[in-house]
Structure 1
Amino acid sequence: FKFADYELKGVPVRLAIGARDIENGTVEVMRRDTLEKQVEPLEGIAARVQALLEEIQTNIYQKALKHREEMTREVDTYEEFKKEIEKGGFILAHWDGTVETEEKIKAETKATIRCIPLEGDKTPGVCMVTGKPSAQRVIFARNY
Structure 2
Amino acid sequence: VRLAMGARDLENNTVEVARRDTLTKETLSLDNIENTVADLLDDIQKNIFRKALNYRQEHTITVDTYEEFKEKLEEGGFILAHWDGTPETEERIKAETKATIRCIPLAGDTTPGVCMVTGKPSVQRVLFARAY
Which residue of the partner structure matches residue 70 of structure 1? 58
Mapped to 1, the partners of 2:95 and 2:35 lie a distance apart of 54
Mapped to 2, the partners of 1:138 and 1:126 lie a distance apart of 12
1:1-144, aligned counterparts within 5 Å? 13-144=1-132
RMSD over aligned Cα atoms: 1.4
Runs of 4+ in 1 over 6 A off after TM superposition: none
Mapped to 2, the partners of 1:64 and 1:81 lie a distance apart of 23
User: Secondary structure in 2 aligned to 1:139?
Assistant: strand
Mapped to 2, the partners of 1:126 and 1:32 lie a distance apart of 45
Q: Counterpart amino acid of 2:2?
A: R
After superposition, the Cα gap between the structure-2 partners of 1:24 and 1:87, relative to the gap in structure 1 and judged at 3 Å, is same
* Number of equivalent positions: 132
User: Secondary structure in 2 aligned to 1:119?
Assistant: coil
User: Secondary structure in 1 aligned to 2:9?
Assistant: helix
TM-score normalised by the chain length of structure 2: 0.91
**Which 5+ residue runs of structure 2 have no aligned equivalent?**
none
1:114, distance to aligned residue in structure 2 (A): 2.0
**Which 5+ residue runs of structure 1 have no aligned equivalent?**
1-12
1:135, distance to aligned residue in structure 2 (A): 0.4
Mapped to 2, the partners of 1:129 and 1:81 lie a distance apart of 10
